[in-house]
Amino acid sequence: MHVEHNLQLIKSKLPPKCTLIAVSKTKSNSLILEAYNANHRQFGENKVQELVQKYELLPKDIEWHMIGHLQTNKVKYIAPFVHLIHGVDSEKLLSEINKQASKINRKIHVLIQIHIATEESKFGFSFEEANQLFNSNFIEKFPFVAISGLMGMATNTDNEDVIRKEFHELNNYFLKLKSTYNQINTLSMGMSSDWKIAIEEGSNMVRVGSAIFGERMNN
Ligand SMILES: *Cc1c(COP(=O)(O)O)cnc(C)c1O
């Protein structure tokens, strides 16, 4: 894989304020270092154990993004170093992140995952559940957590209209929250297959794996 070339190509097509997260799950440290040596610093992983191992072995100025489903009992392992947790899908998880962050006196930045796909299997808050959270006193309730935006995954389909509609709805909700809360500024949506649609629909953070590092054997 021509990691540096792929990175440059994608970056050249992103809007100026859009951050590219290079999703390195299942990929080797040497492949990650290829991206690092091409000056890339933002990487995403979806498994806690793999994330911790890579954090320990790789340069310390990497910003590590936890993009997968996070179990409450594993928050403590990533709390000291994680840059942004994308997949917060319950108040229980928020409360555990707050607890672990308070123990080490660190403020942890998170995104609320919204369920926008038609598939049952995708995690996340419904819009209604998210409204409940944002209408509660979430800032005072979780003082060691900074909710800085939203994350969503579109339905896995070839129908671009479906994908666009889901991203569009999420962006509308994001813009509404952003106009109410100063701290809301990040909209994480778009992966290898749909990041172009996502940026057209307002994404300012895309999570791209296989289009940078090549296809994965599993997950
Ligand atoms: C794996 C993964 C990605 C990247 O997927 P690609 O299709 O390889 O770009 C993005 N977001 C999440 C949450 C993922 O788990």
Measure 201 CA to ligand 1 centroid, in angstroms. 18
Nearest ligand 1 atom to the CA of 207 is: 10
Distance in angstroms (rounded) separating the CA atoms of residues 130 and 136 = 10
Q: What share of the chain is helix, strand, coil (3-state, %, to 5)?
A: 45, 20, 40
Q: Specify the pLDDT at position 121.
A: 73
CA 24 to centroid of ligand 1, rounded, Å: 9
Please state the φ and ψ torsions of residue 139, each to the nearest 5 degrees.
-70, -40
- 3-state secondary structure at position 21: strand
State the Rg of the chain over Cα: 17
For the stretch 149-186, pLDDT in tens is 999 999 999 999 999 999 999 999 999 999 999 999 99
Residue to probe by mutation, ligand 1, list 19, 20, 23, most atoms within 8 Å of CB? 23
Structure tokens at 56: 């320990």
State the Cα–Cα distance between residues 130 and 125, nearest whole angstrom.
6
For residue 71, which phi and psi values (nearest 5 degrees)? -85, 145
pLDDT, one tens digit for every residue, the chain (219 residues): 699 999 999 999 999 999 999 999 999 999 999 999 999 999 999 999 999 999 999 999 999 999 999 999 999 999 999 999 999 999 999 999 999 999 999 999 999 999 999 987 778 999 999 999 999 999 999 999 999 999 999 999 999 999 999 999 999 999 999 999 999 999 999 999 999 999 999 999 999 999 999 999 865
Kindly report the backbone phi and psi dihedral angles of residue 145, in degrees, each rounded to the nearest multiple of 5, phi listed first: -120, 130
Spell out the alpha helix ranges (H) of the chain: 3-13, 29-37, 48-57, 75-78, 91-103, 127-135, 138-141, 160-180, 195-200, 210-213
Chain mean position to CA 130: 17
Q: Angle 160-180/127-135 helices, nearest 10 degrees?
A: 10
**CA 103 to ligand 1 center in whole angstroms:** 31
d(CA 219, CA 215): 10
Q: What is the pLDDT of residue 120?
A: 79
- Residue 219, pLDDT score: 55
Separation between Cα atoms, residue 218 and residue 142, nearest integer Å: 36
Confidence (pLDDT) at 195: 98
pLDDT averaged over every residue in the chain: 96
Task: Output the pLDDT for position 128.
Answer: 97
Ligand 1 neighbours, Cβ below 6 Å, are 23, 25, 46, 67-68, 153, 191-193, 207-211
Distance between CA atoms of 62 and 5, rounded to whole angstroms? Answer: 20
Find the 22 Cα to ligand 1 centroid distance in Å. 9
> Where do we find the tokens 């707050």?
98
Q: Tell me how far apart the alpha carbons of residues 153 and 44 are, in angstroms, rounded to a whole number.
A: 15
- Alpha carbon distance 2, 38 (integer Å): 11
| pTM of this structure | 0.97
Give the residue whose CA is nearest to atom 12 of ligand 1: 67
Mutate to test the pocket of ligand 1, among 46, 111, 121, 194 (most ligand atoms within 8 A of CB): 46
The residue whose CA has the least distance to atom 5 of ligand 1 is 209
